[in-house]
Amino acid sequence: MNMKSCFLWLCCLLLPSSVWASGYAATRYPIVLAHGMFGFNDLAGVEYWYGIPEALRAQGANVYVTQVSPLNTSVQRGEQLLAEVETILAVSGSAKVNLIGHSHGGQSIRYVAAMIPTHVASITAVGSPGLGSPVADDVLAIGKLSPALESIALGALQALGQLIALLSNNQYAVDISASLQSLSSSGAAAFNSQFPAGVPSVPCGQGASQVAGVYIFSWGGTAVSTNIFDLSDALLLTTSLAFVGQPNDGLVGRCSSHLGRVLNDSYDMNHLDEVNQLFGLHALWVNPVELYLQQANRLKNMGL
């Protein structure tokens, strides 16, 4: 039994008995997962959505995992996802899909819902920076202090994005500058003005739960270091310094994650825990896989 199989077996033991019933996650329409910044489908055998598609499928869901550029503008990534969704609709024969997007994937699913609302049953944004991220603002501000340092920082991040694209067999163009601009506070504001569906009208409030027939949900975390064995926690502890007095998941602030009906904005999860990374290491008292199963069951019960 490999590491991933062991994790899935343990996960099943830890899940409440309510999700053991066959068909618990059997939504009417397929579930389509959209990754975030520096994301991928499968990277050298490691899934971005670690163990989540398998758990959903085991409970009856029809799941598709998509792949767009790891680094590019919100609109470019949205266009790429749109093309994939149209293919999924054709292949599956389904009239609609349920879109779930993590991080920058939240903007991707919003774009698709705006372009083809009659073919989207619901969108769920997970840890998505609807108001942008101070981390992106800070990286972009480096150039004002030292153009040379900015060149080094952007070069390193660009190289990382290209490496991820290479290892995940991703043929899309990689553009770190475009990605950071889209995820900055000003870039997010511009995107929100063009695609306002579900965006709260008051600070840290909830947005419309349904627009143009599309149901809108979101959830996020406000913990940073959640597991002493997770090496990625150290990186998120560093990036969390960009948030002054703001609860955050290391990359996205609590209020920035709000879109449509906010299911919860303060889970004990950091940004990578939200997709069950790194290798399923997360806080013991909150299981990310269970949240996806619960959302699938919620959509199922709504007839979606």
> Which amino acid belongs to residue 92?
S
* Residue 273 appears among annotated catalytic residues: no
CA distance 23 to 125: 23
CA distance 259 to 210: 11
**Catalytic, out of 249, 256, 258, 282:** 249
Best CA proximity match to 242, nearest among 138, 146, 166, 101:
138
Instruction: Write down the residue that tokens 């913990």 correspond to.
Output: 223
**Catalytic, out of 69, 74, 102, 103:** 103
Question: What 3-state class would DSSP assign to 231?
Answer: coil
CA distance 300 to 22: 13
Q: What is the helix, strand, coil percentage profile of the chain, to 5?
A: 45, 15, 40
Distance from the Cα of residue 145 to its chain's centroid: 31
DSSP state letter for 207:
-
**Going by C-beta distance under 8 Å and a sequence separation of 6 or more, which residues neighbour residue 61?**
25, 26, 27, 30, 31, 296
Instruction: Write down the residue that tokens 């949240």 correspond to.
Output: 291
* Residue 232 appears among annotated catalytic residues: no
* Residue 268 appears among annotated catalytic residues: no
CA distance 223 to 68: 28
Look up residue 197 and give its two tokens.
């569906």
**Catalytic, out of 35, 102, 271, 282:** 271
Instruction: Write down the residue that tokens 């077996």 correspond to.
Output: 9
DSSP state letter for 31:
E
User: If 0-12 CB within 10 Å is exposed, 13-18 middle and 19+ buried, where does residue 298 land?
Assistant: middle
For residue 147, the surrounding DSSP H or E stretch is: helix 147-167
Active site residues: 103, 249, 271
